[in-house]
Amino acid sequence: MKKRGDFEQQMKALKTEFKRALPERIARIEGLWSGMQSAVPTTQHLRELKRALHMLAGSASTFGFADVGDAARLAERALNTYGASDTENLLQTVQESITAMRQRAADYEQRELA
């Protein structure tokens, strides 16, 4: 039973750390997205943005922030169609997803304060 308790404590600490770092992770994604919009995106830039979204999608779901993870996953999937789909629709989908990530993270924060 001690091992289970240790595991639960470790997961709780990891979740707390994830929640603390979430605004920074979203801000990084927003920065990458902004940079991609203000210049001709390079393959490296696109790869970094997709990687950041992919990592957030997986970890958010793991730590109980499924809505944030879903929004990150939607943006990642949209970026996978970059160059092969309607650019205007792609831009809108990614922007809406990033906005949703920010809002859902704020919603989680508000619930914690209540």
103 vs 95: CA distance, rounded Å: 12
pLDDT average, residue stretch 73-84: 87
Give the model's confidence band at 81: pLDDT under 50 very low, under 70 low, under 90 confident, else very high.
Answer: confident
**What's the pLDDT at 114?**
66
**What's the pLDDT at 62?**
92
In this prediction the pTM is 0.85
We report the CATH number of the domain holding residue 42 as: 1.20.120
pLDDT tens profile 21-71: 999 999 999 999 998 887 777 888 889 999 999 999 999 999 999 999 999
- Number of domains, the chain: 1
* Residues counted in the chain: 114
For residue 16, give its domain range: 2-113
Q: Which stretches of 39-85 are DSSP H helices?
A: 43-62, 66-79
79 vs 57: CA distance, rounded Å: 14
pLDDT tens profile 93-102: 999 999 999 9
12 vs 18: CA distance, rounded Å: 10
